[in-house]
Amino acid sequence: MSLDLAAIRAAHVRIRPHITRTPVLTNARLDAACGGRLFFKCENLQKMGAFKARGAANAVFSLADVEALRGVATHSSGNHAAALARAAKLRGIPAHIVMPSNSAKTKVRLVEAYGGKITFCEPTQAAREAACAAVLERTLATMVHPYEDERVMAGQGTAAVELMEDVPELDLVLCPVGGGGLLAGTAIAAKALRPSVRVVAAEPAAADDSARSFRAGQRLPVVAPKTIADGLRTSIGEPNFEITRRWVDDVVTVSEAGIIAAMRMIWDAVKIVVEPSAAVPYAAIMEGRVDVAHRRVGIILSGGNVDLDQLPWTAHPPVA
C-alpha cells in the first residue's frame, strides 16, 4: 500500500481550493468534566458538512481527463455520497450514487442538491455492492469507494494533518470508525507527524465489527447493524483493517444512550451541530472507555448533517 504522509500532503495541496480548513475549538466546561484538554477538529463545519469532502475531492481531482468524462460512482449512506456528488459537480462530471433506503433524509437532499443521480437499495452491504456493480456496468463510471480507495483515505488524512499543525504535542487522537477511511488517513498522518501520539478509534457497540476484528486479529464484518450513528453502519474495509492493525493503538465501543448524551453535550456546551457519528469519540470519554486525564486530546468531529425533525432527544413531533 502506497498510503503515507507524502500521499496525504499531496492530497492536501490538490484539494485545498475545494475544502475549508476547519477550526479547532476548545471548551473549558468539557475539559473540567474529563480532567484533560480537549481539542475538537470541527469537520462538521467542512464543505457539505463532513470530512468526506476531503477524500471525495482528492479522488475526483486525481482522475485523468479521459477517465473523468465517464463520471464517478459509489455506494454510501450519505456523507460520502454528498461529497462525491459535490466534487463531481465542481469538476463538471456526472456522479452516480447508490444509497440505502434508510439513509437520513437530510443526506439524500444534499446528494440531490449537488446533482447526484441516486439509485436506492436495501440497507445491507450486499445490496449496496450489487446495486453499485450494476450502475458501473451501465455507465462505465469510475468507482470511488467510500473508504477502501487510497485516494479517499489520503484526502481524509488531511484533517489530521491540520489538527496536528494547529495543536502541537497532542498525546491522543480520537477518531470515529465505520468503514475506516478517516481512521486510516488519521492514523498514518498522526503517527508520521508525532510517533508518540496514541490513536484510538471509537464505534457504536451496536456496530462493533472494528473492535471485534481488532481483538481477534482478523476482519469480522457486521451484518445490518442498528445504530443511531448512521455514518458508522458499514463494516471496516480490508485495507483499512490492515492499517488499523499496524497504526491504531485501541478500538473502543460506546452505547447508543452514550452517543445521544455526547451529541447533546457538544450541542449544549460547544454550541455547534454534530451528527451522532461525530459524537461517538466524545461518548467514549463520557463513558470512561478511554483515559484522558491530564492529556491533550484531539477529537475529530466527523460531520454535522442532522435531520432536525428527528433529533434523538426530542420525544415530540415538530410543530407545523
- pLDDT of res. 130: 96
Q: Which runs of E-coded beta strand occur in 116-267? A: 117-121, 142-143, 172-176, 198-204, 250-254
Where are the chain's structural domains? 5-51+149-310, 53-143
Q: Are 5-51+149-310 and 53-143 the same fold in CATH? A: yes
Give the Cα separation of 280 and 263 in Å (integer). Answer: 8
Average pLDDT of the chain, as a whole number: 94
Give the Cα separation of 298 and 300 in Å (integer). Answer: 7
Give the Cα separation of 258 and 261 in Å (integer). Answer: 5
- pLDDT of res. 123: 84
Indicate the length of the chain as a whole number.
320
What's the whole-number mean pLDDT along residues 1-15?
Answer: 94
- pLDDT of res. 126: 87
The pLDDT tens digits of the residues spanning 230-239 come to: 889 889 999 9
What pTM, to 2 d.p., does this model score? 0.93
Residue type at 216 in one-letter notation? A
Q: Percent of the chain having pLDDT more than 70? A: 98
Question: Which residue did the predictor score with more confidence, 106 or 96?
Answer: 96
Indicate if the pLDDT at residue 218 is higher than 60.
Answer: yes
- pLDDT of res. 315: 55
Second-level CATH architecture of 5-51+149-310: 3-Layer(aba) Sandwich (3.40)
| 95 and 72 Cβ atoms separated by less than 8 Å | yes
Cell numbers that stand for 2 in this block: 502506497
State how beta strands 172-176 and 72-75 pair.
Answer: unpaired
CATH 3.40.50.1100 is the classification of domain 53-143: yes
Which of 6, 59, 312 shows the shortest CA–CA distance to 181? 59
3-class SS of residue 132: helix
Indicate if the pLDDT at residue 125 is higher than 80.
Answer: no
The pLDDT tens digits of the residues spanning 259-292 come to: 999 999 999 999 999 999 999 999 999 999 999 9
What band does 319 get if pLDDT is binned at 50, 70 and 90? very low
